[in-house]
Amino acid sequence: MSHTHSTHTNHSPAQTDSPMGIQADVGLVVAAAGSSSRFGTGDCKLLYELNGIPVLCHCLRTFARIVAPQATVVMAPPTMLKTFRKTLTASGIHPDVRVLPGGAERQDSVYKGIMALPLFVHIVAIQDAARPYTTPRLLEECIDSARRHGSGVAAKPVTDTIKIAGADGKVASTPDRSTLWAAETPQVFQRTLIADSYREIMAGGKHVTDDAQAVELANHPTFLVRHHEVNSKITYATDLDD
């Protein structure tokens, strides 16, 4: 399946220059096995073009200056492995980047990706493929935090007022905004920490919506990396027109 929809946005693609170069012990798991159900077209949003290349390939191009292709895995929908492989090849992504079948849920896909990384990988970066604007600098800051603290999660302070409400829309409470952060990706961890955390929470039948939550539920400290960069996620078709 190919999409000719090509969108140019007001946001520039993430720059690929990196002062640090390849970090040999870092691996990358790209979470790309989602259903794109909220995108609204019935197609895989990651195959739509943004600034001339598929959304899927932006983070791979950006992070290629930091993570070796042999240490990069893309977790894809099991029925779309050949399509994803062709998309990567057509976009000039290194052939050593592997495309693997994802699991039933995001946490299953990420855990499978971690287990598939080479043994020489000690630091694991996890990136949502739907975040095409992430810069090398942000990834490097998250890696640095993971080396120092065990984890480094890209995040921004919440600027909206958040309401906690029931299914009927009735507001129950308004949390203190000064304590709230919006977690993004990349989320970077020491490999043993994230692998053990996922193993523990999955054995207990718990479900998480991001990787940091797995570490939290396993009772390990989690550290945020504050930033002010454009790091938007493509969720709806209109996000390609921003």
Confidence (pLDDT) at 34: 79
Mean pLDDT of 210-217: 98
Contacting residues for 159 by C-beta, under 8 A, at least 6 apart: 177
pLDDT tens-digit readout, 101-122: 999 999 999 999 999 999 999 9
> ω before 101 within 30° of 0 (cis)?
no
- How large a percentage of the chain has pLDDT more than 90? 84
Structure confidence at residue 4 as a pLDDT band (50, 70, 90): very low
- Region of 113 on the Ramachandran plot (φ > 0 left; ψ -120 to 50 alpha; else beta): alpha
CB 154 within 8 A of CB 186: yes
pLDDT tens-digit readout, 84-97: 999 999 999 999 99
The Cα–Cα gap between 128 and 29 comes to 9
Mean pLDDT of 49-64: 96
Confidence (pLDDT) at 35: 62
Where helices occur in the chain by DSSP H, the ranges are 55-63, 81-90, 106-116, 136-149, 191-203, 211-217
Q: How do 53-54 and 49-50 pair as beta strands?
A: antiparallel
Architecture of domain 6-241: Alpha-Beta Complex (3.90)
Q: Indicate whether 224 pLDDT > 50.
A: yes
pLDDT tens-digit readout, 115-142: 999 999 999 999 999 999 999 999 999 9
Confidence (pLDDT) at 46: 96
Mean pLDDT of 170-181: 96
Tell me the residue type at 119.
L
Confidence (pLDDT) at 8: 45
pLDDT tens-digit readout, 145-170: 999 999 999 999 999 999 999 999 99
